[in-house]
């Protein structure tokens, strides 16, 4: 795969694929033109981040009591480890976990596992017990003397990880770890890693409330093909989890205006010889093959631990569109709860692939590119291109990764019930890496992940953190190249300094970016304008999650964010023969620019027959002369009746119950006299019959004259039992005498 400045011919514009279902392509920015430099032999020195210690934690020094724990030593990997913490000695008796299960995540190898993923792997997953207690659980990752994972002991949850700054010159010294203790909430009881017995009812997903902010959990299957395994080798699992952690962080940003949690529940690595998806240069064909293949791995029951809501494939294959190979990813639009089409593919391009994954999953959530026509009007003229859903990959604004258009589209998508499968919380979600990725992948390694194993960071190009410049060669000459992505957060950028959001900050400032802060609702805003001047409109009031704004992955506000009520419910003045929906259709009568194949202006009228109940609030109109019908608007104007025989009205594309008094939520109905809220005493039934009829008017029944000039008459014609209605072009008309 070649993506260097030597190939400036890559296109800049995203394209729609032709076909029944639209797909979106994400191209990359062409590399800056060649900057010829002499490569310096010295690179920036490594540095580590340091953070102040919170409460309920101690610095500990795990002591290994036995020999090697690396696989392939002739016996099952086993580790005895001792540490002193909280006034107690903890003896960890650990064995290698052959299933590689880490807090709900199962890594599956399909086909022949690559050699680099075997015994040479520097990291090993271990499970076991603590102090011989059979009810205790230890689940840890061992990597060169460092332990990372969770201990469950005597009702408490202990998180163990290497001390950030655990170098000989740090406060902790070599081998130092942090052990954090988290006691269970009152009444929670001890943790238990067992499934409920068969037949026990699982909690039912909550019914989605209209216009409410509800927690959504995107259970994700992550798949890596054999090219990924060959390139990343033993570090593939950790790399994938690091990328997905960054993507999940993007979905936790408050600019998306919804509480969305990206949860990795399964990780599948494809080996050679496996009958997996057909991965090739064609992005469209690869997506179709992967979508069909991943469905066979899913289980239909949402409560099943093996169920996933969406799937994403990472590959090192250079993906191509119709005419160029500038494609970094592809996904269908608005398919998150469609098992056959909730899937995406991503061309691995280094740690910035996290934003490609977030971009493609944004499409799955019905988001459009920020340069699309609907987004241009929503984002406004001052909007920048530095958002996740920009059509061309560039630096993403850390202060506002999602544009107003993206937030609007995902909100409408979820409010209309298309995210119903995301309401169930996973039983055992994977805890993705919480450390900054730059701590594990320095600038040199980031260059290698992006440009290949021979690339190194070009340290002589200021400023640091803003854009990652990496070494390369073209025609035998050394050069530096960039893809305009910033250094990964946490990358050392100077003495006691590290990158954050494209800026080089002192380590003391980093704690502000690592402490989650939950959001809180602000006050309700004023009521907006009424959608109709008469006949029953709708007005809205909303509130925002701004007191405070959630930060650093803190929980977004839950609850109702929009409220609405009826307004201007009085009758419209007589004079217009058209209903409100008819007026909306008639507005297109002279829009010949939209229907150039039609012979001329059309008379557009509402279409009711054949329209599904969930589509009642779309403006579906029919050309009276031709019979063709189209959805002219995705929504009718708020306050439009859902159907001719219903008092319910459309609100933001959803049919909401209203009474006959045109008030939303009202229980008033028409009585038999068609009086709203009446008791049926305002009318009487008169009946008559006749056996012989003649051509012209026939006298059937006489009604008494009433004093009030305005009366309603409702007529029902019923044929005698067993008698058919007269045929042969008979037309029935009613003639009422003047009763004024």
Binding residues for Ca(2+): 219, 302, 309, 421, 424
- What are the helix (H) ranges across 6-72? none
Binding-site residues, in ranges, read 192, 219, 302, 309, 359, 363, 369, 421, 424
Structure tokens, 714: 């409702």
347 phi, psi to nearest 5 deg: -85, 115
Query: How far, rounded to the nearest angstrom, does the alpha carbon of residue 336 sit from its chain's CA centroid?
Result: 7
Q: List the Cα angle 514/515/517 in 5-degree steps.
A: 135
Q: How many CB atoms lie within 10 A of CB 155?
A: 12
Handedness of CA 509, 511, 512, 514 (dihedral sign): positive
> Comparing C-alpha atoms, which of 410, 406, 408 is closest to residue 389?
406
Check: CB of residue 218 under 8 Å from CB of residue 422. yes
Instruction: Determine the Cα–Cα distance for residues 222 and 104; give it in Å rounded to an integer.
Output: 14
> Comparing C-alpha atoms, which of 484, 480, 483 is closest to residue 34?
480
For 536-564, b where at least 16 C-beta lie within 10 A, e where not — what string?
Answer: bbbbbebbbbeeebbbebebbbeeebbeb
Identify the bridge partners of residue 35 per DSSP, sorted by sequence position: 480
Instruction: Determine the Cα–Cα distance for residues 466 and 469; give it in Å rounded to an integer.
Output: 10
174 phi, psi to nearest 5 deg: -65, 140
Dihedral angle over CA of 436, 442, 443, 447, nearest 10:
-100
Binding-site residues for Zn(2+), in ranges, read 192, 359, 363, 369
Q: Which of 121, 164, 347, 360 is catalytic?
A: 360
Lookup result for tokens 């026939």: 698
Handedness of CA 281, 287, 288, 289 (dihedral sign): positive
The strand order across the sheet containing 177-182 reads 57-60, 177-182, 156-162, 146-153, 133-143, 123-130, 88-96, 78-85, 63-64
With H, G, I as helix, E, B as strand and everything else as coil, classify residue 511.
helix
Instruction: Determine the Cα–Cα distance for residues 587 and 377; give it in Å rounded to an integer.
Output: 21
190 phi, psi to nearest 5 deg: -70, 155
CB within 8 Å of 473: residues ≥ 6 apart: 479
Q: How many CB atoms lie within 10 A of CB 575?
A: 5
Instruction: Determine the Cα–Cα distance for residues 236 and 121; give it in Å rounded to an integer.
Output: 10
For 115-144, give the DSSP string. Answer: GGGTTT-SEEEEEEEETTEEEEEEEEEEET
Is residue 360 among the annotated active site residues? yes
Instruction: Determine the Cα–Cα distance for residues 656 and 639; give it in Å rounded to an integer.
Output: 9
CB within 8 Å of 69: residues ≥ 6 apart: 77, 78, 79, 94, 96, 124, 126, 142
With H, G, I as helix, E, B as strand and everything else as coil, classify residue 598.
coil
CB within 8 Å of 416: residues ≥ 6 apart: 653, 654
H/E element holding 293?
Answer: helix 283-295
Identify the bridge partners of residue 180 per DSSP, sorted by sequence position: 57, 159
Query: How far, rounded to the nearest angstrom, does the alpha carbon of residue 9 sit from its chain's CA centroid?
Result: 33
Structure tokens, 196: 């409920």
Burial (CB count within 10 angstroms: exposed 0-12, middle 13-18, buried 19+), residue 303: middle
- The residues that are catalytic are 360
């Amino acid at each position: 795969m070649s993506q260097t400045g030597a190939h400036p011919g890559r296109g800049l514009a995203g394209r729609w694929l032709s076909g029944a279902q639209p797909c979106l392509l994400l191209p990359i920015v062409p590399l800056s033109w060649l900057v010829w430099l002499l490569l310096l032999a010295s690179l920036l020195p490594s540095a580590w981040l340091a953070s102040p210690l919170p409460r309920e934690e101690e610095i500990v020094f795990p002591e290994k009591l036995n020999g090697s724990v690396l696989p392939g030593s002739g016996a099952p990997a086993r580790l005895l480890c001792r540490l002193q913490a909280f006034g107690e000695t903890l003896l960890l008796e650990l064995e290698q976990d052959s299933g590689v299960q880490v807090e709900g995540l199962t890594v599956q190898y399909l086909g022949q596992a690559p050699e680099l993923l075997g015994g040479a792997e520097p990291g090993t997953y271990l499970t076991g017990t603590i102090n011989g207690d059979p009810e205790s659980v230890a689940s840890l990752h061992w990597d060169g003397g460092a332990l990372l994972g969770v201990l469950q002991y005597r009702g408490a949850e202990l998180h163990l990880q290497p001390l950030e700054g655990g170098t000989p010159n740090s406060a902790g010294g070599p081998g130092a770890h942090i052990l954090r203790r988290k006691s269970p909430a009152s009444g929670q009881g001890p943790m238990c890693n067992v499934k409920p017995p068969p037949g026990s009812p699982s909690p039912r997903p909550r019914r989605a409330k209209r216009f409410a902010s509800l927690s959504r959990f995107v259970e994700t299957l992550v798949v890596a093909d054999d090219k990924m395994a060959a390139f990343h080798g033993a570090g593939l699992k950790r790399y994938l989890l690091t990328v997905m952690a960054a993507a999940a962080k993007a979905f936790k940003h408050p600019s998306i205006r919804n509480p969305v949690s990206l949860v990795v529940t399964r990780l599948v690595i494809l080996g050679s010889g496996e009958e997996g998806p057909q991965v090739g240069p064609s992005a469209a064909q690869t997506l179709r093959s992967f979508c069909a293949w991943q469905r066979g791995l899913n289980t239909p029951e949402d409560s099943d631990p093996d169920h996933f809501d969406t799937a994403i494939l990472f590959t090192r294959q250079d993906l191509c569109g119709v005419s160029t190979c500038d494609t970094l990813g592809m996904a269908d639009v608005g398919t998150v709860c469609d098992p056959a089409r909730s899937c995406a593919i991503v061309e691995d391009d280094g740690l910035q692939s996290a934003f490609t994954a977030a971009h493609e999953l944004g499409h799955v959530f019905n988001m459009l590119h920020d340069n699309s026509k609907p987004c241009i009007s929503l984002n406004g003229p001052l909007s920048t291109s530095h958002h996740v859903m920009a059509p061309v990959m560039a630096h993403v604004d850390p202060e506002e990764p999602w544009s107003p258009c993206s937030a609007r589209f995902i909100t409408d998508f979820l409010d209309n019930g298309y995210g119903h499968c995301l309401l169930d919380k996973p039983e055992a979600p994977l805890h993705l890496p919480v450390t900054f990725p730059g701590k594990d992948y320095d600038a040199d390694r980031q260059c290698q992940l992006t440009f290949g194993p021979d690339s190194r960071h070009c340290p002589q190009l200021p400023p640091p953190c803003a854009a990652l410049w990496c070494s390369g060669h073209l025609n035998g000459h050394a050069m530096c190249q960039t893809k305009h992505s910033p250094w990964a957060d946490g990358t050392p950028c100077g003495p006691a300094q590290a990158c954050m959001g494209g800026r080089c900050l002192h380590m003391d400032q980093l704690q502000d970016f690592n402490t989650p802060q939950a959001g809180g609702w602000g006050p309700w805003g004023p009521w907006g304008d009424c959608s109709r001047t008469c006949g029953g409109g709708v007005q809205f009031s909303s509130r925002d999650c701004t007191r405070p704004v959630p930060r650093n992955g803190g929980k977004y506000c839950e609850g109702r964010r929009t409220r609405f009520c009826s307004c201007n419910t009085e009758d419209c003045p007589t004079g217009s023969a058209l209903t409100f929906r008819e007026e909306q259709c008639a507005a297109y009568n002279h829009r010949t620019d939209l229907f150039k194949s039609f012979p001329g202006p059309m008379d557009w009228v509402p279409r009711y027959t054949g329209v599904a109940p969930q589509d009642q609030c779309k403006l579906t109109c029919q050309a009276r002369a031709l019979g063709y019908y189209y959805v002219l608007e995705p929504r009718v104007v708020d306050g439009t009746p859902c159907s001719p025989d219903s008092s319910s009205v459309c609100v933001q594309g959803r049919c909401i119950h209203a009474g006959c008094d045109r008030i939303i939520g009202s229980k008033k109905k028409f009585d038999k006299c068609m009086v709203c809220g009446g008791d049926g005493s305002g009318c009487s039934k008169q009946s008559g019959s006749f056996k012989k009829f003649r051509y012209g008017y026939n006298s059937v029944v006489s009604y008494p004259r009433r004093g009030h000039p305005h009366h309603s008459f409702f007529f029902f014609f019923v044929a005698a039992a067993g008698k058919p209605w007269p045929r042969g072009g008979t037309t029935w008309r009613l003639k009422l005498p003047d009763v004024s």
